[in-house]
Amino acid sequence: MTYKEIVLGQFRKRREAVWCLRAFVAILLLATYAPMLALDVPFWTDLPGAPASPWFSALFDTAVFPLAVDAFFNLLMGTLPVLVVLWFLAGTGPPQEGRRVSLPVSAVLAILRFLRRGGRPRILGAWGVLHLSLFLWILSARDEWRSPVRDYPRLVHEAKASAGFPPIRHHPGKRMSEFTLTKPLSPGKLQPGATAPPPELHPYYVLGSDNLGNDVLTRLLYGARISLTIGILAVAIDLVIGVTLGALAGYLGGLVDDALMLVAQAVMVIPLLFLILFLMSVVEKPSIYTIVLVIALVGWPGIMRLVRGEFLRQRELDYVTAARALGLKDRRVMFRHIVPNTLAPVFVSATFGIAGVVLIESTLAFLGIGDPGAPSWGQILRIGYENNKTGRHLIWAGGLAIFALVLVVNVIGEALRDALDPKLRR
Amino acid sequence: MWTYIVRRLLLMVPTLFLISLLNFAIVNLAPAKRPTNVSTTGELDTSASMEAKEAEHIFRRTFYLDRPIFLNTRYSLTDGEILWLLAAPAREGEPPRVRRRAFDDLDDYGRTIVPHLIRLATLAADTRETLRVGPLRADYERRWRDARPAWIRGERPPGVSAWPPPPDPPPFDDAFCERLLSLAIDRLGNNAPRRPIVVYGGEAPPEILAFNREVREEQTLLRGILTDRKTGDREKLVKWAAWYDGRRAEWEYSFGDKVAMTLTETRFFNFWRNLAHFDLGTSFTHRKKVWDLILERIDKSLVLSLGSLLLAYLISIPLGILSAVTHRSWSDVVVTVVLFALYSFPTTFLGVLLVIFFGIDLKWFPVSAFHSAGYENLTALGKLRDTAWHVALPMATLTVGSLAYYSRFMKAGLIDVIREDYVRTARAKGLSEFVVVVRHAARNSLIPIITLLGASLPVIVGGSIVVEVIYEIDGMGRLAYEAVIKKDYAVIMGINILVAALTTVGVFLADLAYAVVDPRIRYR
């Protein structure tokens, strides 16, 4: 058995962890395919003057999805199946050779063969390049794709046209001020004077609406995108900074080590939330990206110390001496030989890191320091707290969503740690 | 041991130095350099009321924002530079931002440029020919040529591809000279008089009082020039020149003066000098010394964080022991699952839930403030009860997260220890299970949990922000939060440094405690 198989086997022994992994994938899929579940743009319609399938053009329309994060996930809706297909193709046997096929088909087969030869890492890399280049192209071009903003539910209702909407006919951030703060499952009014939205126009608010008339369930779905993006991006940056600095400190030692440790110490000594708040005070307009950057800037010392400790331990091992005796450059010894051997605890720490970042992000949004334009779970909680007489459902929705994601990630991290720990193997 | 203590204490110095450096960077990166009042929603209120101006003044004085950052070489300013900045309002087509910048620069230069202003005003008033043919004009035209493309770039309408031809520099005609003279006189009125130092909170020290007296005497002297609306600019210039002649020595810098000015009259130097004097500046939202503000509030934060730390240890250690002793029984599973869930529970969510149910619905606990009204009239016992009543919910919120963490740690440690040989020996001696677990095993498994003390201090102090905001407690966390919203950098910086210093000391003490409880550890 290889090391990977042992670890995977240990991980599978924890049933709750496997379920949490499934739940995490489900959250990821829900976030990715949110527009299929909840959007106020129909898949198809015969409304005169509107495109026949407005849903597809809405995906990369800045009027419907102003955030780049949404464009990323909308693109992922299309590219994720491609990844899955490629992934499983890599596991099947070699394609039949010798049959005469037309040129385009043989070109595709050649590409597939090339990908298969490199195994799953190459497939993942190729897919990543494809996805990112498409994403960047869309980002640069989508300003010209703006179409007029249409309130499709109303238009379709008034023209008595036929249309196929996603099951939840709401937009995450379109403010309809005449419908404010309704209770779960009620299309009715809550505040005196507010008219009830007719169910034909905006059907039931399954989890109620917030004070601006947004559907809470829709916001939860799209908020998952924000939380996951911030969590994964911030931790990824932390990993890069932490592993690099930790490797440098642990391998070079001496003055470099002392200086880096001092900086890490200085960052760690200031309470995390204080430090993040203070850095946010410099930011003039907080956006998702500044939040990611600020969280990443303060989160690396933990990973750095971990990597440094592993380096100090492994620096004197025989395989490192052997690598050096081969005359390899320091950089190669560090990043090609030692770093892969230190990654196991780093990944565990990164998993817990994602949960921590999600918590911090929701706290920032709760305190009102986040991006006001992004539908964040912390923001839902905040609105519920501010309207604590009538908005109880918001507290439950936002709070439970954060709790669920953090719990799921923590359980996965816990199981991963135990699976990697040889002492606990049984 | 002693060498270790000394080494750790010495290491604190560079750590705190780095933290202060970070604060210095934050203050200098701050987007709003000239803040007017910022409303609670974070919007800039640009109507410059008296109050807003005072706030701005406090902010700039606190951080010496009118000085250069590292090196101050303002003694070497030339007439040409001052002329360029002074004539900014006379330049048509320059973007307002650039003009505003010139105005701000002249403001910042303060008294340093008085001789330049006197010279320029004299030139503009009497010896215009010299101004027209002299090097000053060549200098001005050179700056004009350099700056012009920048203005055009800022102003170019969209869709126009060709640059418009640059306009000619102004002829130094009589109209221009008149304008220059009046600008210079206005500037003198603004820059020459010194301003008294306002001390917020407490008595002003005698040297400041003496300085203020001197400033007021000077102001009465200058008021004759400043407030006279009837006399023309030329008559005013004569009076200014007379005033200047009397105190010319003030602007003659010896070599030593220049060195001292270069190094000491800077933001950097004054930042460190103030820190060395434990002067954290003045908050412009509260109109108070930051130090006093913090001292007013720190007790509440300390009660909260230290209390919750103590509570967490008091609950988690027995819980961990219980969980380890009953390992893999159903009660252990329940405790473990509940603790794990609590560990993942967001503090914000928990705080809000507790407020809603125990504060608003059941009305068992107060939901805001730290004391009831009329707290001062209570007896000592009553005070304690009142505080405990108010603190119960916030402390519960703050404790839950760390509680779960500690007891899991305690359980893991105890399970490791219980397998050791000496525990088996103790059992074999016939000791009761309670004595074995509590006296022999638990004491040893306490050691790792003490290391957590150092690591968890920053977490607990940070968590107090959320709790204090939710429960409306006037502690340091809420002070910091409001300062961030209102961009009150003096408070931000003060709290940041103080909290960092406190946690540094706390971590140090935790490490010492570690050495005390574990005799195997030898620090070098």
Q: Enumerate the H helices of B347-488 as residue ranges.
A: 347-354, 380-418, 421-428, 433-434, 443-470, 476-486
Return phi, psi of residue B6, to 5°: -65, -40
pLDDT of residue B150: 62
Beta strands B288-289 and A44-45, pairing class:
unpaired
Q: Determine the residue among B29, B308, B349 to mutate to test chain A binding: the one whose Cβ has the most chain A Cβ atoms within 10 Å.
A: B349
Q: Which of A268, A281, A403 sits opposite B344 (nearest CB)?
A: A403
Angle at CA of residue A157, ends A151 and A158, nearest 5°? 90
State the first-to-last Cα distance of chain B, in angstroms, to the nearest integer. Answer: 6
Q: Number of CB pairs < 8 Å for A and B? A: 132
Any idea what DSSP says for residue A203?
A: -
**Alpha-carbon distance A139 to nearest alpha carbon in chain B (angstroms):** 23
Reduced to 3 states, what is the DSSP secondary structure of residue A46? Answer: coil
Q: Determine the residue among A278, A306, A382, A418 to mutate to test chain B binding: the one whose Cβ has the most chain B Cβ atoms within 10 Å.
A: A278
Is residue A372 less than 8 Å (CB to CB) from chain B?
no
CA distance linking residue A7 with residue B310, whole number of Å = 38
Residues in chain B closer than 8 A to A281 (CB atoms):
26, 30, 483-484, 487, 489, 492
Residue (of A422, A354, A416) closest to A14 by Cα position: A416
Q: Which of B349, B465, B504 sits opposite A274 (nearest CB)?
A: B465
Residue (of B50, B11, B51, B58) closest to B489 by Cα position: B58
CA quadruple A372, A376, A379, A380: dihedral, nearest 10: 130
Work out the number of other CB atoms within 10 angstroms of the CB of residue A18.
15
**Alpha-carbon distance B436 to nearest alpha carbon in chain A (angstroms):** 25
> Token pair for residue B358?
């125990």
Residue spans of beta strands (DSSP E) within B218-356: 282-283, 288-289
Residues in chain B closer than 8 A to A270 (CB atoms):
19, 458, 496, 499-500, 503
CA distance linking residue B412 with residue B155, whole number of Å = 68
Q: Which of A271, A281, A378 sits opposite B503 (nearest CB)?
A: A271
Chain B nearest-CA residue for A379: B348
Sign of CA dihedral B470, B474, B478, B483: positive
Q: A176: Cβ–Cβ under 8 A, 6 or more apart, which residues?
A: A197, A202, A212, A213, A214
Is residue B340 less than 8 Å (CB to CB) from chain A?
yes
Is residue A284 less than 8 Å (CB to CB) from chain B?
yes
CA distance linking residue A392 with residue B60, whole number of Å = 44
Reported for B86-91, long-range contacts at CB under 8 A and 24+ positions apart, including other chains, are B86/B117, B86/B120, B86/B180, B86/B183, B86/B184, B86/B187, B87/B140, B87/B176, B87/B179, B87/B180, B87/B183, B89/B183, B90/B170, B90/B176, B90/B179, B90/B180, B90/B183, B91/B170
For chain B positions 24-83, those within 8 Å of chain A (CB to CB) are: 26, 29-31
State the first-to-last Cα distance of chain A, in angstroms, to the nearest integer. Answer: 15
Alpha-carbon distances of A334 from A235, A369, B465, rounded to whole Å? 21, 39, 40
> Token pair for residue A133?
């280049």
Any idea what DSSP says for residue B440?
A: I
pLDDT of residue A238: 94
Residues in chain B closer than 8 A to A376 (CB atoms):
none
CA distance linking residue A418 with residue B341, whole number of Å = 18
**Alpha-carbon distance B508 to nearest alpha carbon in chain A (angstroms):** 11
Any idea what DSSP says for residue B139?
A: H
Residues in chain B closer than 8 A to A255 (CB atoms):
none
Q: Which of A269, A272, A406 sits opposite B500 (nearest CB)?
A: A269
For B211-236, the DSSP string reads HHHHHHHHHHHHHHHHS--SS-HHHH
> Token pair for residue B236?
């005013």
CA distance linking residue B9 with residue B30, whole number of Å = 32
Per-residue pLDDT of chain A (426 residues; tens, 9 = 90+): 788 888 888 888 888 899 999 999 999 999 999 999 998 888 988 888 888 888 988 888 888 888 889 999 999 999 999 998 888 876 665 555 556 667 777 788 788 778 777 778 888 899 999 999 999 999 988 888 877 778 888 888 888 888 888 888 888 876 554 555 555 555 444 444 455 556 666 667 778 777 777 888 999 999 999 999 999 999 999 999 999 999 999 888 889 999 999 999 888 888 888 888 888 888 878 888 999 999 999 989 989 999 998 888 888 888 888 988 998 888 888 888 888 888 888 999 999 999 999 999 999 999 988 888 788 899 999 988 888 777 788 899 999 999 999 999 999 998 898 888 776 655
pLDDT of residue B47: 52
Is residue B336 less than 8 Å (CB to CB) from chain A?
no
Q: Determine the residue among A257, A276, A277, A412 to mutate to test chain B binding: the one whose Cβ has the most chain B Cβ atoms within 10 Å.
A: A277
Q: How many residues does chain B have?
A: 524
Angle at CA of residue B117, ends B111 and B122, nearest 5°? 145
Is residue A240 less than 8 Å (CB to CB) from chain B?
no
Per-residue pLDDT of chain B (524 residues; tens, 9 = 90+): 788 888 888 888 888 888 888 888 888 887 655 544 444 444 444 555 677 777 777 888 788 888 888 888 888 888 888 888 888 888 776 777 778 888 888 888 888 888 898 888 888 888 888 888 888 888 888 888 877 766 655 555 556 666 566 667 778 888 888 888 888 888 888 888 888 887 777 777 888 888 889 888 888 888 777 776 677 778 888 888 888 888 888 888 888 888 988 888 888 998 888 888 888 888 888 888 888 888 888 888 888 888 888 898 899 888 888 888 888 888 888 888 888 898 889 999 999 999 988 888 888 887 777 777 777 777 778 888 888 888 888 888 888 878 888 888 888 888 888 888 888 888 898 888 888 888 888 888 887 787 777 777 777 777 788 899 998 888 888 999 998 888 888 888 888 888 888 888 888 888 787 777 777 766 55
**Alpha-carbon distance A248 to nearest alpha carbon in chain B (angstroms):** 20
Reduced to 3 states, what is the DSSP secondary structure of residue A79? Answer: helix
CA distance linking residue B399 with residue B305, whole number of Å = 9
Cβ(B128)–Cβ(B174) under 8 Å?
yes
Residue (of A199, A152, A159) closest to A174 by Cα position: A152
Residues in chain A closer than 8 A to B486 (CB atoms):
none
**Alpha-carbon distance B137 to nearest alpha carbon in chain A (angstroms):** 41
Residue B201 Rama label (left phi>0; alpha psi -120 to 50; beta)? left
Q: B376: Cβ–Cβ under 8 A, 6 or more apart, which residues?
A: none
The H or E element spanning position B127 is none
Cβ within 8 Å, pair A262-B15: yes
Chain position carrying tokens 């090391």: A3
Is residue A265 less than 8 Å (CB to CB) from chain B?
yes
Q: B162: Cβ–Cβ under 8 A, 6 or more apart, which residues?
A: none
- Strand-pairing partners, residue A410, are none
Angle at CA of residue A268, ends A266 and A269, nearest 5°? 70
For A371-410, the DSSP string reads -TTS--HHHHHHHHHHTTTT-HHHHHHHHHHHHHHHHHHH
pLDDT of residue A357: 94
CA distance linking residue B481 with residue B460, whole number of Å = 16
> Token pair for residue B70?
């590292």
Cβ within 8 Å, pair A272-B459: yes
pLDDT of residue B88: 84
Q: Determine the residue among B33, B40, B283, B348 to mutate to test chain A binding: the one whose Cβ has the most chain A Cβ atoms within 10 Å.
A: B348
Cβ within 8 Å, pair B458-A381: no
Cβ within 8 Å, pair B499-A388: no
Cβ within 8 Å, pair B459-A270: no
> Token pair for residue B230?
């009837």
Is residue A269 less than 8 Å (CB to CB) from chain B?
yes
> Token pair for residue B448?
């790792």
Work out the number of other CB atoms within 10 angstroms of the CB of residue B362.
9
CA quadruple A60, A64, A70, A76: dihedral, nearest 10: -40
For B337-364, the DSSP string reads HHHHHHHHS-HHHHHHHHIIIIIIIS--
Residues in chain B closer than 8 A to A17 (CB atoms):
none
**Alpha-carbon distance B517 to nearest alpha carbon in chain A (angstroms):** 23
Is residue B499 less than 8 Å (CB to CB) from chain A?
yes
CA distance linking residue A266 with residue A60, whole number of Å = 43
Cβ within 8 Å, pair A381-B349: yes
pLDDT of residue A91: 61
pLDDT of residue A202: 64
ipTM score of the complex?
Answer: 0.87
Chain B nearest-CA residue for A406: B344
**Alpha-carbon distance A381 to nearest alpha carbon in chain B (angstroms):** 7
Is residue B19 less than 8 Å (CB to CB) from chain A?
yes
Q: B476: Cβ–Cβ under 8 A, 6 or more apart, which residues?
A: B294, B297, B298, B300, B301, B464, B468, B495, B499
pTM for this entry: 0.85
pLDDT of residue B159: 63
Cβ within 8 Å, pair A369-B500: no
pLDDT of residue B437: 85
Q: Which of A269, A271, A403 sits opposite B15 (nearest CB)?
A: A269
Residues in chain A closer than 8 A to B18 (CB atoms):
262-263, 266
Q: Determine the residue among B344, B465, B472, B489 to mutate to test chain A binding: the one whose Cβ has the most chain A Cβ atoms within 10 Å.
A: B344
